[in-house]
Structure 1
């Protein structure tokens, strides 16, 4: 029986074409060249061919004690044969099979996001062996640590770090942005991205399903197979609804003594559109999100998102870019550019976040520092030419000959503005400057928060471990409801718990390991794609592009998907009511009813397909705030 089922499943489209040809031939014998026997024989043949796969599926359902749609159609078609209505049996089975084929075609389009991702997954890699020889191997054979050669026009086959070369990459498959990115030695690259120009050698950190690209594909596939509460309810409802239709049909037959009417009730009562409508919406909505770089970890996330009334944001890496930059340089003594040149030369030797910010400043002359010494808790000092430079906090420079009142006033002013302060001075006091360094707000942060409020989010909260002065300075231009500073990771989770106890549905947006407790506590956990693996693992929604605009698009898409599900349920139930009304009014028969039933299935699928192109880009006029440069 299994082999026969496989045959019909694999050749479903060919069988539909064959039965279509036979039906047209039968109609020819019925209207053009009237041969009643030929007409009846061909219709009987179509009915027999059509009933075999339906009957086998019905038997499989009954073996697991389930009364499926196939059971109803099988009983109805056998009944049509018993009363000699071969044409009804033929048309019903043909419509049923045609509907399944059309469903497969249209549903495959709703899964286009995953299909497209799977097709562009790299299959091979050029591995450089110990003898510096290059061999092409299946990507599954690549191990962490292997060196991979990537040439112009090729896909990067693994996640890794550039060892040599310069690359101009198209990372649209990962970030959704088609903008080209230039990377050099030391930079990270991702599998599935396209090397537009350059030749690079990459040290592998992950390959195959373990890559960022592989995880995205897996995540979307799992999410599309997930179920909302609505879907679970519909599935459970169908388990009871289908047997109920069978009982009703038997009662109708017994009461009316009309066998034809009874089997027609079975056909028209099939809950096909009801069963297929919700998952079609789920697949289309999640597929759309994947193409925008918005990864929902299941349709249940969408269900929860529409109830969110509060969003709490971690500050660093979420509302801000997470990369401190020098915002102010106050020169108290000496030449500005000479001080910058010296500071950059010294700080290039350090891995401290504030040092990295200073090292990004533009220089005019390359300097070479000597005798570099780190003073714990204070800063660093080094010799350049005939001068000894000190860089760090106030304690680092307080013992040299400086104008301390002016220096202290400058430090206090920059601190009030939310800056971390770094002082650079020469040991003779002839060169001295104070640098203000702080994180920058993400581009369009203000516009995004305004949009979220317009979507009905009543509370927007920033939670940060920074001191209150810095926190309030960052939040000055943002439409936040509340700012809570000085918070440890556990404090953030406790804040969310307290909000939930007050009846609020809260989403938390974070990106770091320290955000994990809060993400785990939130009703909806949202991780920025630039964050840590831990944050993304415990999240419900990942914004791959680390762009706050995606947050607005995600909420809009979630609501649109849930509304689409409701529309499909309404269409399904109205179709059933219409069919039964038409049946008992005498306007609908078995074949015409089956046609309407199949059309309703296609209608809910086509309605779901509208989600594929929903809101691919959030309106640009909503995000017209200027970009914030990051030095």
Structure 2
């Protein structure tokens, strides 16, 4: 039930005729048909028969009106409906009273069925989960267990044609996976060792062994459903305004209806019955239901539509703010690039290359950053044992520090390394070579001396250039904010056609976002790591990219689950289509009321069209909002 006492709930699960509202509507319709039959057979009993038919539907409505009044909402739509129907009986319009009650119930039923589609469309994702999973045991055999009992670290065996039962990483096998039900990606995606897979997707060919990375309660589908349901509880500014407006609007309608009913007879000697009838019609026309539902219906449909395409928006306020974005600031690594860098070279100045790589991997062992994962993968590929690091600590945007066997260690950016020690000429030469090649070079310092350099390269995402071009076509500026060195960042920026700001600390990124805002720009910040959190929080809208770190997801207002740069433009487009839809809904709701108000006052229409002005408008508004469920342009359009 909303602030105005009117229930917009979904019908009970199952066919609509098995729901409480469905049964009540059928009973009222049968009573009305019976009343028509009695009226034809016994005209003298027609008024009584229609009154009884009206009461079949009106009594439950009146009970809800009374409950709403006791809860502090005296001017609910049920109250207006009850007064209008009872008044119609008093002036002898019993047939119209019964028909109006039935139309009201039909409208409520249709509205509930339609509004339920928005929620069902997202809850239907849970049906994609298989009931059981086949896990590998310690002796190499397999056994079947309920999917909800899957634990992190289990190895799930997925045969061709089966749905994957958990989020995880492929550790053996290869195959084309159909991700359309979860990501909206129409073309199956080839998954090989090391690739991420999502619960609910379908393995097309080949046997996959997947190491589980998230419990059943926290897999991709569960998170989508949970976040969307939480987001739908968060009201947008437009929705809060409509609610405030309706609190004053509804009592004003009652006053206007009362004046319409009494002023013409009192001041001009007009017929009391005619003007009471018109006043009752004004009550029905003025019901605020269509107006109140115009915004939440569109937002619920939009949030559900976005979530099915991997676009998670944390509530109506964020959805509305996205419409006004005029600039998008991207992080580089893991956002514009694929987030799958590989080590391209290790240069040792003391000890061996393996010594340098092992120490760097030990320092990065607890990090989720893509560069850290690349270094750990390189160490694993060489079969290196990771040294035990004591006092490990991440320094946002700079690197990591720790100790090993009493020696102080630092591994991080060349810029930070230069502040900690003097870089010899041969070190500068090697750094320059890496930067010119578009590589990211990180420096290992042991007890104040440079021990080695590790070079990494991360290629741009396949859709990055097209995604940035799409933003530009929409009139939205794109800029890269990265802590990487200027040469490597410029090389990536030139490929993508994006403005570059490089060699930035997390505080610098937040400062630049603030400077952009001060110039009148509405900024969305897109990133995936801990070092993006300050800028994500400072931006008008923070968007976490891909799986992202928990800190980035917690700080952000929205998340792009599947790492497509083009989804940023798709998210903004979804917001703009939603706001257009809301404006259409408001215009439709108020426009129909205005038309029927005029036709009622001049005597062209009566009670039947009056209830259609509200219930009909409510259904039309809901159906218009549900158009958003069909989705919009794809990420790469």
TM-score bracket for this pair, using the shorter chain length: 0.7 to 0.9
Other-structure match for 1:264: 281
- Displacement after TM superposition at 1:483 (Å): 2.0
Match of 2:253? Answer: 245
1:449 aligned residue: 468
- CA 1:119/1:584 → structure 2, altered by over 3 Å: closer, same or farther? same
Q: What SS class does the counterpart of residue 492 from structure 1 fall into? A: helix
Contact 1:418 1:473 in 2 (8 A): yes
1:111 to 116, 119, 139: 119
Residues 123-161 of structure 1 show CA distances to partners (whole Å, capped at 9, x for unaligned) of: 444566779886655444444455555444433333345
Quote the Cα distance in structure 2 between the aligned partners of 1:354 and 1:217: 31
1:263 to 1:409, Cα distance in 2 relative to 1, 3 A: closer
1:464 maps to: 482
CA distance change for structure 1 residues 409 and 490 in 2, over 3 Å: closer, same or farther? closer
Partner of 1:111, secondary structure, is helix
**Contact in 1 for aligned 2:467/2:567 (Cα 8 Å):** no
Q: Deviations over 1:181-214 (max 9, x none)?
A: 4556665443223333455555544323222221
Q: How do residues 155-554 of structure 1 correspond to structure 2 at under 5 angstroms?
A: 155-161=163-169, 169-183=177-191, 188-199=196-207, 202-257=210-265, 258=272, 259-324=276-341, 415-420=435-440, 438-457=457-476, 459-480=477-498, 482-554=499-571
Deviations 1:450-479 (A, max 9, x none): 22122122x322111112222222212433
2:32 is the alignment partner of 1:64:
no
Aligned pairs, number: 552
Do the aligned partners of 2:466 and 2:636 also contact (CA within 8 Å) in 1?
Answer: no
Secondary structure of the residue aligned to 1:312 is strand
SS of residue paired to 2:203: strand
In structure 1, the gaps of 5 or more residues are 329-342, 361-367, 378-404, 423-433, 621-631
Aligned-partner Cα distance in 2 for 1:435–1:600: 65
Residue 261 of structure 1 and its aligned partner are, at CA, apart by 2.8
| Stretch moving more, 21-30 or 601-610 | 21-30
Distance in 2 between residues matched to 1:249 and 1:293, nearest whole Å: 48
Deviation at residue 247 of structure 1 after TM alignment: 2.3
Counterparts of 1:370 and 1:463 in 2: how far apart (Å)? 35
Helix, strand or coil at the partner of 2:263: helix
Runs (5+) with no aligned partner, structure 2: 1-8, 266-271, 346-352, 365-370, 390-398, 400-424, 443-452
Contact 1:314 1:464 in 2 (8 A): yes
Distance 1:175 1:614 in 2: 12
Structure 1 residues 590 and 449, CA gap change in structure 2 (3 angstroms):
same
Change (3 A) 1:111 1:350: same
The aligned counterpart of 2:580 is 563
**8 Å contact from structure 1 (residues 311, 460) kept in 2:** yes
What displacement does 1:28 show? 4.9
Q: Which moved more, 1:87-96 or 1:184-193?
A: 184-193
Note the alpha carbon deviations across 1:249-281, whole angstroms, 9 max, x for none.
233333234332332221121112101111111
Note if contact 1:307-1:505 (Cα within 8 Å) is conserved in structure 2: yes
CA–CA separation in structure 2 for the residues paired with 1:407 and 1:229:
55
After superposing the two structures, state which structure 1 stretch, 443-452 or 44-53, moved more: 443-452
Quote the Cα distance in structure 2 between the aligned partners of 1:150 and 1:370. Answer: 28
CA positional deviation for 1:47: 0.3
Post-superposition offset of 1:371: 11
> Shift of residue 291 of structure 1?
2.1
Instruction: Tell me the equivalent position of 2:43.
Output: 36
Structure 1 residues 147, 461: closer, same or farther in 2, change over 3 A? closer
The SS at the match of 1:287 is helix
Distance 2:465 2:183 in 1: 22
- Matches of 1:278 and 1:546, distance apart in 2: 29
1:583 to 597, 600, 607: 600
Q: CA deviation at 1:602?
A: 1.6
Report if aligned partners of 2:544, 2:556 keep a CA contact under 8 Å in 1: yes
Which stretch has the larger CA shift, 247-256 or 121-130?
Answer: 121-130
Q: Deviations over 1:211-256 (max 9, x none)?
A: 2221111112222333211111111211221122222223333323
Distance (whole Å) between structure 1 residues aligned to residue 186 and residue 430 of structure 2: 44
Q: 1:178 Cα deviation (Å)? A: 4.2
Given that 1:161 and 1:188 are in contact with CA atoms closer than 8 Å, whether structure 2 keeps it comes out as yes
Contact 1:348/1:355 (8 A) holds in 2: no
